[in-house]
Structure 1
Amino acid sequence: MNTRKLVEPVAVVTGAGSGIGRAVARLMLDGGYRLVLAGRREAQLLETAAGHANAITVPCDVTDPDDVERLFASATRRWGRVDLLFNNAGVFGPAASVDEISLTDWEGTIAVNLTGSMLCAAAAVRTMKAQSPQGGRIINNGSIAAHSPRPRTVAYTVTKHAMTGLTKSIELDGRGFGITCGQIDIGNAATELMEQIGVGSGAIQGDGSRKVEPTFPVEDAARAVLLMAGMPATASVGSVVVTAAGMPFIGRG
């Protein structure tokens, strides 16, 4: 396994146009990373990059295998290697229980959150195996839904439980190639997604009531991602859970 400390490591960040992806990308740029910013909307990626010399933007649909291959080819063409993938792109999906969700909505959520994450991880692993020195790190953005669901989030919850299996499989299969993989499960970081759920105005609880829940700055979640990313190659952080203090997670139900 490569143990050297890389200068200006190269990171691919998906879903970099907003929310946690944008916050992580900006902290990485401040920390000396060279970045490839991926997302569906180029204008938002350019806002994240803010003209930084160490960032390139690559519009990408993570559900499209050709787009994903082009993303990683762009990374190696520009920077020569990939040291880190922050596998962050995702959607919340429809508010529905299992008897209500349409097949189209189910498959659409699976496509982005799970298949998209698999395609990006696969391309990252192929790149990390082929480069010299070999190796790298993948951080999957899960959710506290991987531990305990919110009501009427069947598609989202299933994808985040599956993300845990993806994370552990990548970690195991990457051992012989210096590739590590961990997962961060974040609860109630103040992003657009939290507005969609209605956390600030009253999110539905397990008993059907609504409750205004605490949030915390998205930059604090980003700092946790950077802590995982900055570990030496000799260490692997398998799982991190970061939530807003006092949110109804422990004891949810």
Structure 2
Amino acid sequence: MSGEGKVAVITGASSGIGRSTAIALAEAGWSLVLFARRADKLQDTQAQCPRPDKVLLVNGDVTDELAVIGLFKAAVQRFGRVDLLFNNAGISHAAAPLDEISLETFQNIVNVNLTGPFLCTREAFKVFKAQSPSGGRIINNGSIAAHAPRPHATGYTATKHGVLGLTRATALDGRAHNITCTQIDIGNAHTDMAAGHSLGALQPDGTVKVEGTFDVKHVADAIVHIAGLPLNVTVLNFNIMATTMPFVGRG
């Protein structure tokens, strides 16, 4: 489905799922506004898109309110509207028992994984409601950790459960304004962030097992499909994972 004339804002677009999604949307004809902290890596993403001239790069941090406000102002100034926000930026923390996680570590992951998506969602709402035709779509990068935790991942698990709440609240509050919201929960797409799981991940029974991964392109293709749906159609939750992922009956 063609994305000609449509504009997507992607956070965390400098690598991994964000980069793959940017390339896939660009190949489908979308114009892009790419946001991340690492300017050089953003440039690498732009260079891999088929129409680099239809890609705007904005350097910044999702935890910085003024930077997020500036991101959406820049998007509208360049392209005139926004049709899609992909809240993709996120971090994890080193595995540790709950009682060994510092307040600084916990607050940092909350700021990136939950406050950042809130700020971006808030600013997207303002644009979606003001533009003509009004409306838009938000896709949040959740995790299967939003439904079943890993051992020693308290901060990550808590924030991804928070994203699930943000997704549902966004879908509800957006209903009257032609704004829809999806959470995509991904089980070990093969990216740098998930690479360690292919070497061995701690399981709830105390064993360490190699977990399956799959090509991140399949995540990007799924997002392109959801993004291309009409706004009267909502995919509230979308789970995509390796077939051998220990999630159903995780044990």
Smaller-chain TM-score range? over 0.9
Structure 2 residues not aligned, in runs of 5+: none
Give, in whole Å, the separation in 2 of the partners of 1:104 and 1:27: 36
SS at 2:194 equivalent: helix
Q: How does 1:1-150 map to 2 (within 5 A)?
A: 7-50=4-47, 52-150=52-150
Code of the aligned partner of 1:245:
T
Find the aligned partners of 2:21 and 2:185 in 1 and give their Cα distance: 14
Tell me how far apart the structure 2 counterparts of residues 241 and 213 of structure 1 sit (CA, whole Å). Answer: 17
Quick one: distance in 2 between partners of 1:12 and 1:23?
14
Deviation (angstroms), 1:76: 0.3
Q: Which runs of 4+ in 1 moved over 4 A?
A: none
1:140-168 CA distances to partner (integer Å, 9 max, x unpaired)? 00000011111110000000011111001
CA contact (8 A) 1:135 1:178 kept: yes
C-alpha RMSD of the superposition? 1.2
Report the Cα offset of residue 6 of structure 1. Answer: 6.9
Instruction: Check whether the contact 2:22–2:45 (CA below 8 A) recurs between aligned residues.
Output: yes
Report % sequence identity: 51
Matches within 5 A, 1:228-247: 228-247=226-245
Amino acid at match of 1:70: G
Aligned pairs for 1:131-210 within 5 A? 131-195=131-195, 198-210=196-208
> Equivalent residue of 1:174, what SS?
helix
Distance 1:234 1:194 in 2: 34
Whole-Å Cα distance in 2 between the matches of residues 147 and 205 of structure 1? 16
1:218 is aligned to 2:216: yes
Distance 2:58 2:174 in 1: 26
User: How many angstroms apart in 2 are the aligned matches of 1:85 and 1:31?
Assistant: 16
How many residues are paired up? Answer: 247
Superposition TM-score, scaled by structure 1 size:
0.95
CA distance in 1 between partners of 2:60 and 2:9 (Å): 12
For structure 1, list consecutive stretches of 5 or more residues without a partner in the other structure. Answer: none
Q: Does the CA contact (< 8 Å) of 1:94 and 1:101 recur in 2?
A: no
State whether residues 92 and 156 of structure 1, in contact with CA within 8 Å, keep that contact through their aligned partners in structure 2: yes
Distance change (3 Å), C-alpha of 1:6 and 1:205: closer
Give the TM-score normalised by the residue count of structure 2: 0.96
SS in 1 for 2:129: helix
